[in-house]
Amino acid sequence: MASPNRNPQIRKDTVSNRWVLFSPARARRPSDLKSKSHPNSNNQSECPFCVGHEHECAPEIFRVPPDSGSDWKVRVIQNLYPALCRDLELPSLPHISDPNLNYGDVALSGFGFHDVVIESPVHQVHLSNLSPIEVGEVLLAYKKRIEQLQRHDSIKYVQVFKNYGASAGASMSHSHSQIMALPVIPPTVSTRINSMKEYFDQTGKCSLCEIQRDDLLVDESTHFISIVPFAATFPFETWIIPRYHSAHFHELDGEKAVDLGGILKLMLRKMCLQLNDPPFNFMIHTSPLEVSPLQLPYAHWFLQIVPQLTEVGGFERGTGCYINPVFPEDAAKVLREVKIL
């Protein structure tokens, strides 16, 4: 599926500002791109995310539809093992006062929110099995929760993400995603916003509105396109980008949510069929909750889907550069041509 005769290339992603090495020759290594099977199915009878087991979960934040009782379709709950604590004092002091700290060591208290979104009441149903309208309801649950989190002044950024399959990090097999609200703007987010600013300063345009490479296009819907980015970090990585300019995911309305639900479902089904149901992550890359009017013309959210087909090794950990054995044009062509019946 790669083009073994092309020379390797190093490319720089203008969004993440990261170098990526493209090397079709690597595709011939003695190891397969199709993913291994991923045996993380916790026993259904013991799954706390299943309908009827609500009492085994950490407290609920809301369900969809509201007041639906045991007829819920989506539940947003607290994470029982949160990485951040909603009960800590606000991080008013930037440094925890510890006489042992060396100069330069910075430590904040771990204030923040860590929630789980249960995407279906039924254990066997995956996100890609839902209808576009139902996927849209999950997306609108993200939106609603972000709008709640936004009311906390000390929350600067909200990361929505999904882990599917053990080697993509999932510890629960029941279909779910996660929402983390952070008191800091993560470095990748600042870097991304700064890269987009640089593009804007030089061209007067938004870098994501401008993407126009037919060979990288996978699919289009009324309000979105899906592409393989020019300098994709991972093989068969795809981005779903709104065609309308928008800084924040949570500006999504009901109609656009269904449209996004449809194209997200399509991409997940294509990946599943073509790449043998691989483990994957998706991440919503939005803007910090507070953006200045000056940033609005170039801040543009998107959703990134990363199937996990290769392992990260010492080179990537050491350099932050990634080795991708599949050229984006080739990956886009393959995904474009998958027939969904």
Ligand X SMILES: Nc1ncnc2c1ncn2[C@@H]1O[C@H](COP(=O)(O)OP(=O)(O)O[C@H]2O[C@H](CO)[C@@H](O)[C@H](O)[C@H]2O)[C@@H](O)[C@H]1O
Query: C-beta of 314: minimal distance to ligand X in Å?
Result: 5
Three-class SS of residue 9? strand
Q: Which does 94 bind (CB under 5 to 8 A by kind): ligand X, its own copies, none?
A: none
Question: Does 276 contact its own copies by CB under 8 A?
Answer: no
Query: C-beta of 207: minimal distance to ligand X in Å?
Result: 27
Three-class SS of residue 288? coil
Binding test (CB under 8 A) with its own copies, winner from 93, 107, 294, 340 = 107
Question: Does 128 contact its own copies by CB under 8 A?
Answer: no
Cα separation, 299 vs 19, in Å, equals 21
Query: C-beta of 243: minimal distance to its own copies in Å?
Result: 16
Give me the catalytic one of 114, 126, 176, 223.
Answer: 176
Cα separation, 127 vs 165, in Å, equals 13
Does 152 appear as a known binding residue? no
Residue 20: strand pairing partners: 11, 322
Cα separation, 209 vs 334, in Å, equals 24
Cα separation, 134 vs 289, in Å, equals 26
170 vs 260, which CB is nearer to ligand X? Answer: 170
Does 272 appear as a known binding residue? no
Q: Which does 58 bind (CB under 5 to 8 A by kind): ligand X, its own copies, none?
A: ligand X
Distance, C-alpha 168 to centroid of its chain: 12
Distances, alpha carbon 336 to alpha carbons 85, 164, 198, in Å: 43, 23, 31
Query: C-beta of 117: minimal distance to its own copies in Å?
Result: 12
Does 47 appear as a known binding residue? yes
95 is catalytic: no
Q: Which does 9 bind (CB under 5 to 8 A by kind): its own copies, ligand X, none?
A: its own copies
Residue 163: strand pairing partners: 281
Residues annotated within a binding site for Zn(2+): 47, 50, 123, 174
Residues designated as active site: 176
